Amino acid sequence: METITPAATNEILNDLIAINNDRIAGYEHAMQETEENDLKTLFADMISESHKIRNALGTEVQATGGKMETKSTAAGKIYRAWTDIKAVFSGFDRRTILTNCEASEDAMQRAYSSALDHEHIPAYIRELLTTQQKKLKKAHDKVKALRNKAA
């Protein structure tokens, strides 16, 4: 199987880095919008998780001489602005916060699936992304379960 170029692989990884940057910013924002300690703890854990994931991706980018992405995506900035507008009308109650977080986690899953759709990424990168996606899926499922409990 022919692999894609390091530059193309780095582009895929930098897209995931930018999305993890969005996740970090989103959970930092969510922490500011809640007074519930269990959610603050959960969000802090998710921020830490995304830092580790982002750094692992960045290490792979830098190993081939690439530059690690430091910014977030335009879509992430738009999404956070939209959640702020939505909150004006619905408030930052537990269910709203968790619903917004679940939507972000859904987007993470789609981004990883899209990255893994590239047939010719190196096997070790595919393994890294698969492992990260599984970790993120556990976080998604935890947020979803909490959202389902919030009435």
pLDDT digits (tens, 9 = 90+) for 89-117: 456 688 888 988 898 899 899 999 999 99
What pLDDT digit, counting tens, does each position of 113-142 carry? 999 999 889 999 999 999 999 999 999 999
Report yes or no on whether pTM surpasses 0.75.
Answer: yes
DSSP state for residue 5 in the 8-state scheme? P
Which CATH code of 1.20.1260.10, 3.40.462.10, 1.10.3720.10, 3.40.50.300 fits the domain covering 6-149? 1.20.1260.10
**In residues, how long is the chain?**
151
> Is 60 exceeded by the pLDDT of residue 79?
no
Tell me, what's the pLDDT at 96? 85
Q: At a CB cut-off of 8 Å and minimum separation 6, what does 122 contact?
A: 3, 9
With the CA atoms of 4, 75, 29 and 104 taken in that order, what torsion angle do they form, in degrees rounded to the nearest 10? -70
Rounded distance, CA 147 to CA 102, Å?
8
